[in-house]
Chains A and B, each alone.
Chain A
Amino acid sequence: MKSPLLLAAVATLATGVALAATADPNRTKILDGYAAQAKAQSPEFAAFSADRGRALYLGPHSGGKAETPACAACHTENPTAQGRHYKTGRAIEPMAVSVTPKRFTDPAEVEKRFERDCPNVLGRACTAREKGDFITFLASR
């Protein structure tokens, strides 16, 4: 268990970091990992962008399944609202970190879902930059 004191210290440290719009150390670590990969893939990479993340989230994209032209197809256009799986009908907790603080804090879960969800929507895997943009967008909501 983390002490409130430690969390407060981390929060103070993170305020100064432009990349991380959020104080959760696990989310910061996940974003840092994607940033390193993005840089390795393209030397021009500077920083993640919430705007690009929004465009990815809202689509519409082609290349994936017709029923899911955007992440919003299941996660709903308004990331602070409850989503719904287009096929199973199951409710999905809001993606916005402000509403669901545990979002993007478990690296294995995050990778697993990117691996499954990106091909459905884009017809291909997401790049490290897209993953970071997506999280940056939702961490700002």
Chain B
Amino acid sequence: MRFSIAATAALLLTGNATLASEFERVPPVTHAATLKECGECHMAYQPGLLPAAGWTRIMDGLADHFGDKASLPPDVAADIRGYLTRNAGGGDGQLVRITDQRWWLRKHRFDPTVWQRRTVGAKGNCEACHRTAAKGLYEDD
């Protein structure tokens, strides 16, 4: 069963401080190599979700990518790096996780057991809750 945003919001949100978020909508990934190579183990995250420095760190560390080997041939990696950094968003460049960024944490103050649900599994599994995440649409409707 899908985890619906409406249900989550109703059940889990402590307060509903709805400041308009600059991240409600980010441009979708339009780059074929990024979609293919970065969309296998998790959804291909939109470049607007991390600042350029964050993407640079990610691309520098693909040989040990959160414990996985995600290395790519140098030409493909350079192509993806260029796309991600050119279209990057804002945030803290020291943090390589979207899910460690302050804006993200502010929007996801849920009961910790939520992340262990079988259908969710990890904070980075955006699609489990945001059905339109692959299109860059995160606003709750």
Q: Is B41 at the interface (CB under 8 A from chain A)?
A: yes
CB neighbours (8 Å) of B68 from chain A are 87, 116, 120
Q: Is A4 at the interface (CB under 8 A from chain B)?
A: no
Once the chains bind, are A90 and B69 in contact (CB under 8 Å)?
Answer: no
Q: Is B125 at the interface (CB under 8 A from chain A)?
A: yes
In the complex formed, the residue of A with least CB distance to B115 is A89
Once the chains bind, are B69 and A85 in contact (CB under 8 Å)?
Answer: no
Number of A-B residue pairs at CB separation under 8 A? 36
Which of B69, B118, B119, B125 is close to A88, meaning CB atoms less than 8 Å apart? B125
Query: In the complex, A136 Cα to B124 Cα: how many Å?
Result: 34
Q: Is B128 at the interface (CB under 8 A from chain A)?
A: yes
Within the complex, the shortest CB–CB distance from B127 to chain A, in Å, comes to 8
Q: With A119-B69, A120-B68 in contact, is A89–B120 under 8 Å at CB?
A: yes
CB neighbours (8 Å) of B120 from chain A are 89
Q: Is B53 at the interface (CB under 8 A from chain A)?
A: no
Q: Is B122 at the interface (CB under 8 A from chain A)?
A: yes
Q: Is A141 at the interface (CB under 8 A from chain B)?
A: no
Within the complex, the shortest CB–CB distance from A69 to chain B, in Å, comes to 16
Query: In the complex, A120 Cα to B118 Cα: how many Å?
Result: 22
Q: Is A84 at the interface (CB under 8 A from chain B)?
A: yes
Residue-wise, chain B 97-141 has the 8 Å CB interface mask toward A (1 for contact) of 000000000000000000000111110110110000000000000
Q: Is B43 at the interface (CB under 8 A from chain A)?
A: yes
Can you offer 8 A-B residue contacts whose CB atoms are under 8 A?
A89-B121, A89-B122, A90-B42, A90-B43, A90-B127, A116-B69, A116-B70, A120-B68
